[in-house]
Chain A
Amino acid sequence: MVKFITSLLALFATLLVATSLQAAPTLTITSGDEKLVLDRSELETFPQTRIVTTSPYFEGSAEFTGPSLSRVLETFDLSGDIRIVLRALNDYRVDGNLRELLAMDPIVATRMDSQPMSVRDRGPFWLMLPLSDRPELDEQEFHRFMIWQLEAIVLD
């Protein structure tokens, strides 16, 4: 009986690990009471935008794809002066004015060089700015919005 329970627990644990290793973090978007949780496949159903850019975070240039932030947020009421808070897995937060942020044409990148990004590769979602296309954004004050391991977006 004990042995059975133990083996059952082990099986459960194995299943748990297996699912956990497979399971990827999601992106949670909240605005007041509204809440939207999106995983990668859902994000990839949005119209995709492609950014090829260099950045201070990796060597050379890379291709990023994903929906633009404005597409992701378009289900929400974006009227008025909205403050946006971006939070990463490591609890790093950046906040700013939504309109200003959207003006930087950010995308919620889900793939780097066509490959999904793992947490180790700073995925699964990375807010990417078109630094190479818009060199004026290649400044430290904009770099801070290029938050990786993006976990949640809060609008208020």
Chain B
Amino acid sequence: MKPGSIQQRLFSRATVIFLFIVIGVLLSASFYTYVQDRKLQSVSLSALKMASWNLARMSNEAGAFDREVALMAKGVGDPEEFMLRFDVLWSRYDYLLNSAESMPTRQHQDNLRRIKNLFSDLKGLEPQIKGLLKSAKPDWSELATTWEQQRKDIQLLLADNFVGEEASQLMTGMEASRDRLANLRVLTLGALVVVFMYLAFALTHIRRQSRTDPLTGLPNSNYLQTINSVDPRKNVIVCQIRDLGLVIAEYGNETANEVVQAFARKLAKGLGGGDELIQISQGEFLLLVKNHKNESSESLAARFIEATTFEWRIFETVIPIQGVFGVTVAGKDQSPAWGVRYQEAYRALAMAQMEREQLYISNENLEKRLRDERIILNGLVRFLSGEPSSLSLSVVYQPIVNAGNKNFIIGAEVLLRCRDRVLGFVPPNVVVDLSERHGLGADLGKWLFRQVAKETSQLYRDLGFRGSLSINLNPAMLSDSLVSDVQGLLVNEGIPASALCMEITEDNAALDFERINELINELHTLGVTFALDDFGTGHSSLEYVRELKVDRLKVDRCFVNGVEHSEDKLRFLGSIVAMAEQVYMKTVIEGVENQAQWDLIEKLGDVLIQGYFAHKPMPFNEFMAVLMDSASRYPTTRQLSVSAV
């Protein structure tokens, strides 16, 4: 049954109205019973008792008189006793008709009329009785007959009052009330059972509903909250549909939902008995899965990756769908708490996303790395805002020399150095990546510019140094504010624009050649030059060489490695230099580390060399000392003016 339909039925208007009617009927029935019973209570029991008692006395007295009549008829009666009984009955009628006490008896039904009739009937006997008593030979039979009729009327009155009327009415009323109550109780009980069942069902349903994703029917994040522990033999896998946001952006949420449903189905197919699949959010799932026999967690994850890599077709368009997986592998015995494993899986997922991988399996290194990164980032934030920080950044300079003359220092590359008080040396690319990821790239760039200006401006101002300074631009610096930053933080601080060389890599130039070239052009007009860094490592392809209007090509150290042992490698390096010459680029060869390499590269032509063999990266003071060395030569204002002449 679809979740929607049961909900519709459970909370439909008809059901709710029905329930309201049931409860309404019960309420009105209760009210009716209450009113009825109130009426019953208003019947005065004492008045009833009094009436019954009086009538019973009357009956007794009539009976006593009756006996006297019979005795008289037989001729053995005592006239005195006879008259006494006659008078007693007389007084009873009188009492019934006149006393305040017997009012209820009189008022009931037509008792008043009947008693009046009986009284006048009795009075009617008197002349006859007097005649009979005076008569010497009385015939009592006629009187007996007349009396007999009265006696019957008395019995009838009694019967009507005792059986037919008030008492029986009371009894009937009581019984009816009791029956009503009993029926009502059954009804109430039944209705309560119905309502209770409805509520129980509704509650269960809502409970289940609240723990289920309406789209896929999978357990949702509410269900996740209820998980306290997970079998340590299960892998904890967090999975996200990659770029689901883009699908929503381009095709709408409905399509995205269909994709999510299809994705969930494919995930579910890979589940074994006891495995669980929970939908955390629209495009995010949690899998608690045991390895198949002889299956590693890696191949298990690979199985899910394969199953969930598919193409979603909508009209003519094909959307490639794939998941990103973060895995905490199944433990043996001593496994960390479920919450920790869950967190680890997320850490792995975050890592996979960072690295643009489909899968990352959580391990100790990851944990350490992420912890270190947290420390570094924290330090970086504090450092850049000028607060006391465990992280300190500095710049070093690696001189670049002319291949023809090792002592001729044409400039230096500015390199970032990072040191954490706890972690020690931190690779600069880690700091740069972190700053890029957390929006600190521009700040880091500005700091770098300021630092370089602060340290080197003296060289240009006092030494007349005109050598170049190569500065690596991180991606965030390649923005519209670059020109003003270069102007404001470097040129205005005393570094000639012509001495500045901005190094870019494919990574930061990737976005848009046109935009980058615009920037390059703008800075070219100032006199700033550009270099394509790490050429040949895959980060900088030939297309970049062709498209970007850079002035220098920096050949990666891997092309230098081994040139002294391999003719082929040397020739290859030579062809790169030749190509650069063809497109009017100056070549800087990095990583030259020994005399043999130097000698070979020297012959390749007019190239620049940066490497340990010539100079290691050094702090500014050392760099200045190298420049001041009497053996060293470098471009100066004088030389420039000479060459200009």
Pick from A21, A57, A119: contact of B99, CB below 8 A.
A57
Q: Closest residue to A9 on the B side, CB-wise?
A: B136
Verify A119–B136 contact, CB threshold 8 A.
no
- Interface of B, helix, strand, loop or mixed by DSSP: helix
B79/A16 in contact, CB under 8 A:
yes
Instruction: Assess whether B39 is interfacial by the CB under 8 Å rule.
Output: no
For A10, the chain B residues whose CB sits under 8 A away are: 136-137
Q: Give complex CA distance A127, B624 in Å.
A: 146
Contact status A58-B98, CB under 8 Å: yes
Whether B136 contacts A6 by the Cβ 8 Å rule is yes
Q: Does B367 reach chain A (CB closer than 8 Å)?
A: no
Contact partner, B91, options A6, A16, A121, Cβ 8 Å:
A121
Decide: A23 and B91 in contact? CB cutoff 8 A.
no
A90 touches B88 (CB 8 A): yes
A57→B134 contact, CB < 8 A: no
Within 8 Å of chain B (Cβ to Cβ): is A89? yes
- Give A20's nearest chain B residue, CB to CB: B80
Question: Is A89's CB under 8 angstroms from B88's CB?
Answer: yes
Residue of B nearest to A22 (CB): B80
Tell me if B621 counts as interface (CB < 8 A to partner A): no
Contact A90 B99 (CB under 8 A): no
A143 within 8 A of B: yes
Determine whether the beta carbon of A20 is less than 8 Å from that of B100: no
A119 touches B87 (CB 8 A): yes
Residue of B nearest to A88 (CB): B88
**A140 with B87, Cβ < 8 A, contacts A7-B136, A9-B136 known:** no
Partner of B100, one of A56, A121, A148, A149: A56
Report chain A residues within 8 Å CB of B83: 20-21
In the assembly, what is the distance between CA of A121 and CA of B95, in Å? 9
- Is B548 located at the chain interface by the 8 A CB criterion? no
Please indicate the chain B residues that have their CB under 8 angstroms from the CB of A91 in the complex: 60, 64
B42-79 near A? 1/0 per residue, CB < 8 Å? 00001000000000010011001000000000000011
Determine if B61 and A120 form an interchain contact, defined as CB atoms under 8 angstroms apart.
no
**B94 cross-chain contacts in A, Cβ below 8 A:** 120-122
Q: Which of B524-566 contact A (CB under 8 A)?
A: none
Would you give the 0/1 interface string for A126-155, flagging 1 where the beta carbon is closer than 8 Å to chain B?
A: 000000000000001001000011000000
A120 touches B101 (CB 8 A): no
Shortest C-beta distance, A129 to chain B (Å), equals: 14
B342 CB–A CB distance under 8 Å:
no
| CB pair B100 A57 closer than 8 Å | yes
A1-26 interface mask toward B, CB cutoff 8 Å, 1 = contact, 0 = none? 00000110110011011011101010
Contact with B along A85-120 (1 / 0, CB 8 A): 000011110000000000000000000000000111
Are A140 and B91 in touch, CB under 8 angstroms?
no
User: Which of chain B's residues have a CB closer than 8 A to the CB of A81?
Assistant: none
Q: Are A90 and B133 in contact (CB under 8 A)?
A: no
Interface footprint category on B? 20 to 34
Residues of A within 8 A of B64 (CB): 90-91
Q: Tell whether B90 is near chain A: CB-to-CB under 8 Å.
A: yes
Contact of A20 among B46, B61, B79, B90 (CB under 8 A): B79
Q: Is A59 in the interface zone, CB < 8 Å from B? A: yes
- Contact assessment for B134 and A14 in the assembled complex, using a CB-CB cutoff below 8 Å: yes
Nearest B residue to A23 via CB reads B80
Complex interface residues of chain B between 85 and 125 (CB less than 8 A to chain A): 87-88, 90-92, 94-95, 98-101
CB-based contact A17/B84 at 8 Å: no
Chain A minimum-CB-distance residue to B81: A20
Smallest Cβ distance from A86 to chain B, in angstroms? 15
Q: Complex formed: what's the CA distance from A21 to B130 in Å?
A: 10
Shortest CB distance A23–B (Å):
6
Min CB–CB distance A6 → chain B (angstroms): 7
Residues of B within 8 A of A20 (CB): 78-80, 83
* Cα distance A102–B197 in the bound complex, in angstroms: 70
Contact between chains at A119 and B91 (CB < 8 Å): yes
With A16-B79, A25-B84 as contacts: A57 and B91 at CB distance below 8 Å:
no
- Given A7-B136, A90-B60, A91-B60, answer yes or no on A58-B88 (Cβ-Cβ < 8 Å): no
CB contact under 8 A between A57 and B101, given known A17-B133, A140-B46: yes
Bound complex: CA of A10 vs CA of B95, how far in Å? 36
| Least CB distance, A20 to chain B, in whole angstroms | 3
- Cβ–Cβ < 8 Å partners of A21 in chain B: 79-80, 83, 133
Q: In the complex, A118 Cα to B91 Cα: how many Å? A: 9
A92 and B57 form a contact (CB under 8 A)? yes
| Cα(A50)–Cα(B130), bound, Å | 35
CA distance A41 to B91 in the complex (A): 23
- By CB atoms of chain A within 10 A, which of B61, B78, B80 has the most? B80
Are B88 and A119 in contact, CB atoms less than 8 angstroms apart? yes
A–B complex contacts, Cβ < 8 Å, 19 sampled: A9-B136, A10-B137, A13-B136, A16-B79, A21-B80, A56-B101, A57-B95, A57-B100, A59-B100, A90-B64, A90-B88, A92-B57, A119-B91, A120-B87, A120-B94, A122-B91, A140-B46, A148-B91, A149-B91
In order of increasing CB-CB distance, the 9 nearest A-B pairs are A10-B136, A20-B80, A119-B87, A56-B101, A17-B133, A57-B99, A56-B100, A120-B90, A20-B79
Residues of A within 8 A of B (CB): 6-7, 9-10, 13-14, 16-17, 19-21, 23, 25, 56-59, 89-92, 118-122, 140, 143, 148-149
Tell me the B residues contacting A by CB distance below 8 Å: 46, 57, 60-61, 64, 78-80, 83-84, 87-88, 90-92, 94-95, 98-101, 133-134, 136-137
